[in-house]
Each structure stands twice: as C-alpha cells, then as structure tokens.
Amino acid sequence: MKTLVTERDVLDAWQSHKRRLLLSPNAVVTPAAQEAAKSHQIELVRQTSTSEPKAVRAGEKPASRIVVMGADHGGFELKELLKEHVSALGYQVEDVGTYSPESVDYPDFAHAVAERVARNSGSRGIIIDGAGVGSAMVANKVPGIRAATCHDVYT
C-alpha cells in the first residue's frame, strides 16, 4: 500500500528538529512536502525493500514522465490547452478522451484516467470537468488512487 507524505509530515519533522525523514519504499511525496523539505533542509530518505535507505532529493522528478489526461465535454478545450503545456514541460501526455466538445458522461473519463494511473506506477493524472467533485469520487474508487478536487491555483 502506498503512503502519502504531506507538507504536514515534513513540518512535524522540522519542529521535532529532525534533519532526515524516512520514507517507505512506495511512499508518494506531495509537491508541497518536497518544497517544505527543500526550504527546511530536511533530507527525504526512501527505504528500499531491503531496508537500505535511498536518498531522494526534495523536488526530484517522478520516475515516470507520463501524465494521463481526460475530460468531459465541459473540460475539452482546457484539456487541449493543458496537453500542449504539459508536453512542453517534458512530460508524455496520454489522452483518454473526450476528443470533441460533444456531450459525454464525466464518470467514464474519470475512471479511465484513474485506471491508467493505477496501472502505471509513477504516472500522474489530470481530470477536467465542470465541478470536479464527482470525478474525484469516481477516481478514488480505483484501488491505489488518491484524487482531489482543485478549483484554483492554491489547491
């Protein structure tokens, strides 16, 4: 099972005067946690399955450079713009639809993104729809997935 390392975990380590935070082999470190570790000079150390620590630098890029994207009809145009931007950042984009602004059901695309991300360890997913809450709920039903609704640049 994957564990999630958040900014709160890093700040707790910093407040406890720790300079190193040990991570499980399959831990997922949030970008906010990476930034906090970098700014507070906390070394993130990933333990391998043989319990030998492996250092992970704060801000390190994920092993997989794949971003799976999907959208309903309301998010089609934004998805097309984001595909170009994400590709320009050096990521490979896998588009699971929709491929036009014609009306579709968002759960189909949210589930498709979540399934692809769950199968490809280290990949990331972006689902775009009208509200986001329903898509996050659908994606979270896929084992190994943690999805959240982001409605502005701060979430």
Ordered domains of the chain (ranges, CATH): 4-56 (no CATH), 66-140 (3.40.1400.10)
Q: What is the pLDDT of residues 114-125, one digit of tens each?
A: 999 998 867 899
Q: What is the 3-state secondary structure (H, E, C) of 88-145?
A: HCCCEEEECCCCCCCCCCHHHHHHHHHHHHHHCCCCEEEEECCCCHHHHHHHHCCCCC
Whether the full predicted model's pTM is greater than 0.75, yes or no, is no
Q: What is the pLDDT of residue 137?
A: 96
Q: What is the pLDDT of residue 52?
A: 46
Q: What is the pLDDT of residue 131?
A: 80
Q: What is the pLDDT of residues 93-108, one digit of tens each?
A: 999 999 999 999 999 9
Q: 65 is written with which tokens?
A: 């450079």
Beta bridge partner(s), residue 44: 21, 56
How would residue 134 be classed by pLDDT, with cut points 50, 70 and 90?
very high
Arithmetic mean of pLDDT, 27-42: 92
Beta strands 43-47 and 53-56 are antiparallel
Amino acid at 86: V
Phi-psi domain of 16 (left: phi exceeds 0; alpha: psi -120 through 50; beta: other) = alpha
Residue pair 105/71 in contact (Cβ under 8 Å)? The answer is: no
Q: What is the pLDDT of residues 40-75, one digit of tens each?
A: 999 998 887 654 445 555 555 555 789 999 999 999
Count of CA atoms in the C-beta half-sphere (13 A) of 138: 20
